[in-house]
Amino acid sequence: MSILTVGSVAYDDIVTPYDTRLRALGGSATYFALAAQHFTQISLVAVVGEDFNLADEDLLRHKGIDLKGLEKVAGKCFYWKGEYLANWNDRVTHDTQLNVFEHFQPKVPDNYRDAKYVFLGNIHPSLQAEVLRQMNDQPKMVALDTMNLWIKETRQDLIDVLGGVNVLLVNDSEAMMLSGQNHLIDAARTISQMGPQTLCIKQGEHGALLVQGDRIFIAPAYPLCKVIDPTGAGDCFAGGFMGYLAQTGDHSFENMKRAIIYGSVLGSFTVEAFSVDRCAGIDMAAISKRYHEFVDLCHFHE
Amino acid sequence: MSILTVGSVAYDDIVTPYDTRLRALGGSATYFALAAQHFTQISLVAVVGEDFNLADEDLLRHKGIDLKGLEKVAGKCFYWKGEYLANWNDRVTHDTQLNVFEHFQPKVPDNYRDAKYVFLGNIHPSLQAEVLRQMNDQPKMVALDTMNLWIKETRQDLIDVLGGVNVLLVNDSEAMMLSGQNHLIDAARTISQMGPQTLCIKQGEHGALLVQGDRIFIAPAYPLCKVIDPTGAGDCFAGGFMGYLAQTGDHSFENMKRAIIYGSVLGSFTVEAFSVDRCAGIDMAAISKRYHEFVDLCHFHE
């Protein structure tokens, strides 16, 4: 089944210890859509400015992503300039310009108001809530990604939207910040009372953790990739996770484990090149191959 | 088969964000021996001072640990005072007193010079080398644990002893520091040229990684334990790992995967209480139960 997603479409200036890329296509919705389109049909709700490149629009369209919900308005695209330090774990934001996102009001295309899968990418929680309000019914699955900024600055808006969310994707420190707990299992319990029954904790180079009530699954990270640019890894993780769940329509915990591995696979590809180059460039054969490498990495006989 | 181990037997003053414990029994050999004795017979080579408590000696003896190689000399036991900060990852050393270790010359008891398994706990590499020199033949398996201090200050001594070592246990940053590589797989390749064909990378709260040539296995960390005192977790990890290998006598990569899980089990118990309280207090039934919890945590159907 298809997925409706809202998030940012942006241009990033990215500085790493080894290289620099200017005006790289980025944004949470862009990365998510390009990862999830390997599994199913995606409809993207976002806004871009007059500086949005035709080549970038063609890339999204060529991948079969439905752009009816992508508004074009006067002004410039969302812009972010970030720098990764030598250990890859520390990231410094040098500049953020909301530009066309400042007055953005998402509009869900009519033919997507019945979508069964909704992914609320990392943007202001009131925009995420607006998308949910426009849906005709409660979707089968709503997943939400957020970050420390929104947890801190727009906490009540975030808590309001979480009431309609099934799966929350965050990292360790964000889960603790949101829940006020200092242990991940306690954090999952507190967060489930806000709405999301399933907590998916992205741990970057250390893999991911899935928590649902008393059930826990730990997925390893892929240790073989050479990191070129970590930007978008979390969004592509979400794309692989949600894409696989929407493709299979199976929300069992056992299938969510496989979805987490697909998420890790997409995240691991993404960091191997700047921008969306790698997550858009791979095909399903490469994804399957790496999925089975993951299985080998963590499989053992009792 | 039995394991000969050399390392420190010490008293630690430990400060955590929640509590403090003074004169806690510690040291790399103590923790290793108390973890490994669950699997096989241990002979301990170390030195203690006149202040070594009879109760602590009784604890080790009661667990069946052979203390013929534990010298008692004039002076005081090795002493360490450390403090853990709120995130548990940062540790500050407030004081280290070598005391009786300053002039220690390890003496391997005659009846252990044919030991097939040797664990060189985290002490000065020249003391580790001295133990290997006293062995009658090359053991079936020698494992070595070390730390950034020795890699930095006694690099050549460490490289000399690594020539006779099969398995090196370190953390990520130590593997990179020793090898001069900034990618773990490259680090394993460089280190294997120094001697150890197998690299076991301890990642604390993020589990452990086993690398042997092109073969890689990732073990998860146990996400359920409440941390009281992380001291000795790495030594107990080594104790579970080496203990299981010596008990089974099977050095295949498949069996090393199981050994890594047993290492993680012993490490996870250790942090649940101060000092050696938990790793000495558990029994094989508790170890087996948690081993199977680990299996469940990371198992999934393709």
- Domain positions in chain A: 3-297
The pLDDT of residue A223 is 81
Of A14, A5, A18, A12, residue with least CA distance to A44: A5
Tokens 């699997």 belong to B39
Largest CA distance in chain A: 61
The answer to whether A225 faces chain B, any CB pair under 8 Å, is no
d(C-alpha A112, C-alpha B60), whole Å: 68
What tens digit of pLDDT does each residue of A98-133 get?
999 999 999 999 999 999 999 999 999 999 999 999
Hey, what long-range contacts does B52-56 have (CB within 8 A, 24 or more apart)?
B52/B9, B52/B77, B53/B25, B56/B25
Q: Give the whole-angstrom CA distance, residue B40 versus residue B245.
A: 10
Q: Exposure string (b/e) for A152-164, b if CB count within 10 Å is 16 or more?
A: eebeebbebbbeb
Q: Which CATH number fits domain A3-297: 3.40.1190.20, 1.10.10.60, 3.30.2090.10, 3.90.1150.10?
A: 3.40.1190.20
Least CB–CB distance from B206: residue in A206, A226, A301: A206
**Which residues neighbour B240 within 8 Å (Cβ) at sequence distance 6 or greater?**
B35, B36, B38, B39, B259, B262, B263, B264, B265, B266, B267, B287
**Is residue B240 over pLDDT 80?**
yes
Q: How far is C-alpha B5 from the geometric centre of its chain's CA atoms?
A: 10
**What pLDDT is stored for residue A183 in this prediction?**
82
Greater confidence (A257 vs B300) lies with: A257
Whether residues A226 and B184 touch (CB distance < 8 A) is answered with no
Is A221 near chain B, with CB under 8 Å?
A: yes
In 3D, which of B173, B133, B180 has the Cα closest to residue B157?
B133
- Minimal Cα–Cα distance from A163 to chain B, Å? 26
CATH architecture of B3-298: 3-Layer(aba) Sandwich (3.40)
Check CB contact under 8 Å for A301 and B184: no
Q: Kindly report, residue by residue over B270-300, the tens digit of the pLDDT.
A: 999 999 999 999 999 999 999 999 999 988 8
Nearest C-alpha neighbor of A263 from the set A240, A292, A294: A240
The number of beta carbons lying within 10 Å of the beta carbon of residue B93 is: 10
Smallest CA–CA distance from B214 into chain A, residue: A224
Classify the complex by whether its ipTM is higher than 0.95, answering yes or no. Answer: no
Q: Looking at residue B109, what is its pLDDT? A: 95
Q: Does pLDDT of B225 surpass 80?
A: no
Name the residue facing B209 among A209, A217, A223 (closest C-beta). Answer: A223
pLDDT in tens, A216-242: 999 988 887 688 999 999 999 999 999
For residue B214, what pLDDT is reported?
86
Q: Do residues A76 and A100 lie in contact, with contact meaning Cβ atoms separated by under 8 Å?
A: yes
> Is pLDDT at B261 greater than 90 in this prediction?
yes
Query: What pLDDT was estimated at residue A48?
Result: 98
Which one of A205, A300, A302 would you mutate to disrupt binding with B, by most B Cβ within 10 Å of its Cβ? A300
pLDDT in tens, B73-115: 999 999 999 999 877 778 899 999 999 999 999 999 999 999 9
> Residue B242 pLDDT > 90, yes or no?
yes
Q: pLDDT tens digit string along B171-219?
A: 988 999 999 998 888 899 999 999 999 999 998 878 899 999 889 999 9
Residues B80, A283: Cα–Cα separation, whole Å: 55
Calculate what percentage of chain B has a pLDDT beyond 90: 85
Q: How far is CA A85 from the centre of its chain?
A: 22
Q: How confident is the model at residue A300 (pLDDT cuts 50, 70, 90)?
A: confident
Token pair 């990371």 in the structure block, residue: B298
Task: Mutation target for B interface from A218, A227, A299: give the one with most B CBs within 10 A.
Answer: A218
Predicted local confidence at residue A222, as pLDDT: 84
- Interface with B, mutate which of A177, A244, A298, A301 (most B CBs under 10 A): A298
